[in-house]
Structure 1
Amino acid sequence: MVEQQTAALDTLFRALADPTRRAMLRSLSEGEHSVGELAAPFRMSFAAASKHVKVLEHAGLVRRRVQGRSHLCRLDPQPLAAADEWLRFYEQFWRSSLDALAEALSRPDPETNGGKNG
């Protein structure tokens, strides 16, 4: 089970590592788009865009349906929940580390006579 979760996260983060795919996901957050529409801002071929979409599909982030000659894509945000859960662990770590740093910085410095000159 843990190995499956690790593999799924690896696939997800690999898909998200590419700026073109992240931009495609952002476009899909606004609604369904054809592969051609997803390719347009990048001036890439349908084949190149389709490869990006396949990576996103493999990660579970995109669902594609064929309507006539059009390949229509929509965002499936569910896999992002696993990434969010994974990142929240580190958010807690950094929050507690930064809280400890803030506390340490707010204490008077004994070498400067409690922070007072004189």
Structure 2
Amino acid sequence: MTTQLDQTFAALADPTRRAILAMLLEDDMAVTDVAEPFEMSLAAISKHLGVLTASGLISQEKRGRVKWCKLEPDALREASVWMQAFGQMDAIDLDAFESFLSQQLKE
């Protein structure tokens, strides 16, 4: 596996990061808005966002004094291709992925 794949799968392994991705499916969000539903410090959320950014799953942009997070769905493409090589996975359907992430939030 490439380093990028390692980073992608490591980022997806954490339930908090999957929940953040599910939130970002709806729209870009300010870091403080991302942190709001979680019972952890802003510093802890920032670490999760750093992992997601390093993996390429999200991007962060400063707009004025506010840092915004944006989902980068194309980042899953390499992982999807890798999984398809096993013949057990179809191409990632982003609608199905959204449903999966929404279900994870409910658990």
Which TM bucket (shorter chain)? 0.7 to 0.9
TM-score by structure 2 length? 0.76
Partner of 1:63, secondary structure, is strand
CA RMSD in angstroms, aligned pairs only: 1.6
Q: Name the CA distance, whole Å, in 1 between partners of 2:20 and 2:61.
A: 16
Unmatched segments (≥5 aa) in structure 2: 90-107
Unmatched segments (≥5 aa) in structure 1: 95-118
Q: Deviations over 1:48-79 (max 9, x none)?
A: 11111010000011111112221100001112
Flag the 1:89–1:70 CA change in 2: closer, same or farther, 3 A: same
Q: Name the CA distance, whole Å, in 2 between partners of 1:76 and 1:46.
A: 22
Q: Name the CA distance, whole Å, in 1 between partners of 2:73 and 2:39.
A: 26
Give the number of the structure whose alpha-carbon radius of gyration is greater. Answer: 1
Q: Which has the higher helix share?
A: 1
- Count of residue pairs the alignment pairs up: 89
Partner of 1:42, secondary structure, is coil
TM-score by structure 1 length? 0.69
Percent identity, aligned pairs only? 44
2:84 maps to amino acid: R
Residue 35 of structure 1: CA displacement?
1.1
Q: Deviations over 1:17-73 (max 9, x none)?
A: 100001101111111011111111112222111111010000011111112221100
1:58 aligns with 2:54: yes
